Structure 1
Amino acid sequence: MPDKHPAELHHSYKYYDLLLGAFVTVLLCSNLIGPGKSCVLNLGVNIVPDYTKDHGFAFTSLLVFGAGNIFFPISYIFGDCLTEVYGYARSRRVIWAGFGAMIFATIMSWVVRHLPANPGEEYNKTIVPALDVVFGNTGRIVIASIIAFWVGDFANSFVMAKMKILTGGKHLWTRTVGSTFVGQGIDSMLFYPIAFASIWEPSTLIKVSIFNWLFKVAVEVLMTPLTYAICNFLKRAEGVDFFDRNTNFTPFSLKDE
């Protein structure tokens, strides 16, 4: 498949806008709906780090995780496909769209929760406390989430683009797993310390950060066949397989080249 020059990038794509919308949807749902429920799964074998132990690494069979951790890595799959097919610059625009959507959602949730409720509506007695629980994340957690997303996603896209050049476009799995390993690592190592330092014990902070990092990478590994299928389909449908040889990798731009 031909390697497109930046000058050829300005034609209309069939699926780029759909991927942008899907990326933002997954991102918002993972951050707004996902944190609303903590889940537990008994794996039947003691392979999960036990965070309740203050010293050392003990293990348990109970996997406890936020529901959003299942779906948030999907945004990295979309990010991988966007960078692989359309290039870093197009992926950069999508990341900024997601960043803007998160800022707007944060502001909207704050405004909705702080508007005075109508005491004459009976359902407000149920819905208002529920809104506070689901959308009432502290400012520190919100800031941590936004910073970690922005830095982690740009790192993911940068590594993906650079590895594509190094591998000559071959061995897609090395790029998807490698970029996610870096991106999710940065995401986890930023989010948990910013959100919970001085609240959690340092040992717990380290264990949770490492486990959630590896958990998200594992989801990416399991989704590798789907990533292959999506990328191959898009390359055929769009007639493009972009290499970022002359790309300006600054994150502070909305240019598509």
Structure 2
Amino acid sequence: MEPAAPPAQATRTLDDRAVRLFILLAAFFCVNAVLAEFIGVKIFALEDTLGIAPLEWNLFGQSGSLNFTVGTLLWPFVFVLTDVINEFFGRRGVRFISWLTVALIVYGFVFAFLAIATAPATWWVGAAADRGVPDYQAAFAAIFGQGMWSIAGSVVAFLLGQLIDVGVFHRIRRATGERWVWLRATGSTAVSQLVDSFVVIWIAFVLGPQHWPTSLFLAVSSVNYVYKMLAAVAMIPLLYAMRHAIRAYLGHQREAQLRHEAALD
């Protein structure tokens, strides 16, 4: 029987800055994605939030103000984190974190439904009546009890988008080498989010019980895709800033080693 590894071994592993970096990126990736799923139930009006007049867009026969789920505010950070993880930890890193995130999303919703199913305390139901919430239980269920079609659409679209993103990212990387970080970042996002934006709406609102007409499906999906792409372009400086910070944290030699291994993955 081989002797057990000394306790100091775990400490040495966690002292590896690359390990710490992966844990940090994974934690922010997972919390952003899970949080986006839970707060996404709220729809906000972009023009009203910015204090400007409604744009009254007209697309595929649909018109009105620009409305988005609050979750869209977090997805651009997920895109940046995906590209950074891709850059330094390769396909396996992104796939591992993507599957972990899906598991955490499902885990979160399972316990949300269990929480809804518990019998509320009588006094608690009306505890916020003076604040405009006459039934706390109904409000809790409405916020956390998102429809199964919406959950399924979000999970499938997220996982499909991530797997496409990692594939396109490395195709561009093989073609361009270490040049043009912005191209592989925005290029992979452009393809993956084209799929993501349309799949999630299709499953949640076309196949689901609401049965949206094709014109509404195309209009809402297109607006969401355009927003995601504009956000991805706007986040390019953050991508470069994170690369610079990681290089300073790891040191040039370790950073180059990680990028080389990721490119071969």
Q: What TM-score, normalized by structure 1, do the two folds share?
A: 0.82
Aligned-partner Cα distance in 1 for 2:106–2:247: 32
Q: Partner of 1:23 in structure 2?
A: 29
Residue 229 (structure 1) shift: 0.8
Q: Is the 8 A contact 1:86 1:240 kept in 2?
A: no
Residues 117-164 of structure 1 show CA distances to partners (whole Å, capped at 9, x for unaligned) of: 122435386431221121121111110110001110111122112211
Aligned-partner Cα distance in 2 for 1:49–1:69: 19
* 230, 239, 244: which one aligns with 1:227: 239
Residue 170 (structure 1) shift: 0.6
Q: Partner of 2:3 in structure 1?
A: none
The structure whose residues are more often helix, as a share, is 2
Structure 2 CA distance for partners of 1:163 and 1:48, relative to 1, 3 Å: farther
Report 1:1-257 matches (<5 A).
Answer: 13=18, 14-41=20-47, 49-50=57-58, 56=61, 62-121=65-124, 122-123=126-127, 126-197=135-206, 199-238=211-250, 239-241=254-256, 242-243=259-260, 244-247=262-265
Aligned-partner Cα distance in 2 for 1:40–1:94: 31
Aligned-partner Cα distance in 1 for 2:248–2:153: 38
Aligned-partner Cα distance in 2 for 1:235–1:161: 20
Aligned-partner Cα distance in 2 for 1:98–1:235: 26
Considering Cα pairs closer than 8 Å and 6+ residues apart, tell me whether 1 or 2 has the greater RCO.
1
How many residue pairs align between the two structures?
A: 232
User: Unpaired runs of 5+ in structure 2?
Assistant: 1-15, 129-133
Structure 1 stretch displaced more, 28-37 or 104-113: 28-37
Q: Is the 8 A contact 1:40 1:63 kept in 2?
A: yes
Aligned-partner Cα distance in 1 for 2:182–2:249: 21
When Rg is computed on C-alpha atoms for both structures, the one with the higher figure is: 2
User: Which letter maps to 2:171?
Assistant: K
Aligned-partner Cα distance in 2 for 1:181–1:230: 20
Q: What TM-score, normalized by structure 2, do the two folds share?
A: 0.79
Residue 105 (structure 1) shift: 0.8
User: Unpaired runs of 5+ in structure 1?
Assistant: 1-10, 248-257
SS of the aligned residue for 2:104 comes to: helix
Residue 57 (structure 1) shift: 6.4
Aligned-partner Cα distance in 2 for 1:240–1:229: 14
